[in-house]
């Protein structure tokens, strides 16, 4: 029973952190170009040209 007192809040904190990370990724436009992100992994680094 005692364990619940900190485990539950801990679980919730993790959840809130995950939610915060999602909001951050949304705000930094990471969902703007999903197709492009998929293709860009095939590109070599820019500095080899």
Partner 1 sequence: MSCCAADAAAAARPVNAAVSREELLLASRDLGDGVRQVDLAVPEMHCADCIRKIERGLAAVPGVTYARVNLSTRRASVKWSGEAPPLIETLEGLGYAAHLFDMGAEEGDPQLAFLLRALAVAGFSSMNIMLLSVSVWSGADPGTRQAFHWISALLALPALVYSGQVFFRSAWSALRHGRSNMDVPISIGVLLAFGISVYDTYQNGPHAYFDAATSLLFFLLIGRVLDHMMREKARKAVSGLVRLAPRGATVLREDGSRDYLPVGEIEPGMALMVAAGDRVPVDGTVASGASELDCSVVTGESMPQPVGAGSELKAGMLNLTGGLTMVATARSENSFLAEMVRLMEVAEGGKARYRQLADRAAQLYSPVIHATALLTFIGWLAMTGDWHRSIGIAIAVLIITCPCALGLAVPIVQVVAARRLFENGIMVKDGSAMERMAEIDTVAFDKTGTLTLGRLRLEAGGAIDPAAAAIAASLAATSNHPVSRAIAARYGAGAAGLHFTRLAEIPGQGIEAEADGAVYRLGRADWALGAAGRPGEGTVLSRDGQALAAFAFRDDLRPEAREAVADLRQQGIATLILSGDQPPAVAAVARDLGIGDYAASVLPAEKLARVTALAAAGHKTLMVGDGLNDAPVLAAAHVSMAPATAADIGRNAADFVFLRAGLGAVPLALAVSREAGRLIQQNFGLAILYNLIALPIAIAGFVTPLIASLAMSLSSIVVVANALRLKAGREDRRKASRSPALPAAQADTRAIPAGSR
Interface positions with partner 1 (CB under 8 A): 1, 4, 8, 11-12, 15-16, 18-19, 22-23, 26, 31-36, 39-43, 49
Q: How far is the CB of 17 from partner 1 (least distance, A)?
A: 11
Q: How far is the CB of 40 from partner 1 (least distance, A)?
A: 6
Rounded distance between C-alpha atoms, residue 32 and residue 25, angstroms: 10
Q: Do residues 25 and 31 make contact, with C-beta atoms less than 8 angstroms apart?
A: yes
Rounded distance between C-alpha atoms, residue 10 and residue 18, angstroms: 12
Q: How far is the CB of 9 from partner 1 (least distance, A)?
A: 9
């Amino acid at each position: 029973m005692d364990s619940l007192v900190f485990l539950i809040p801990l679980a919730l904190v993790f959840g809130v952190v995950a939610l915060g990370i999602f909001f951050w990724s949304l705000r930094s436009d990471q969902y703007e170009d999903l197709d492009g992100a998929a293709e860009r992994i095939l590109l070599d680094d820019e500095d080899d040209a």
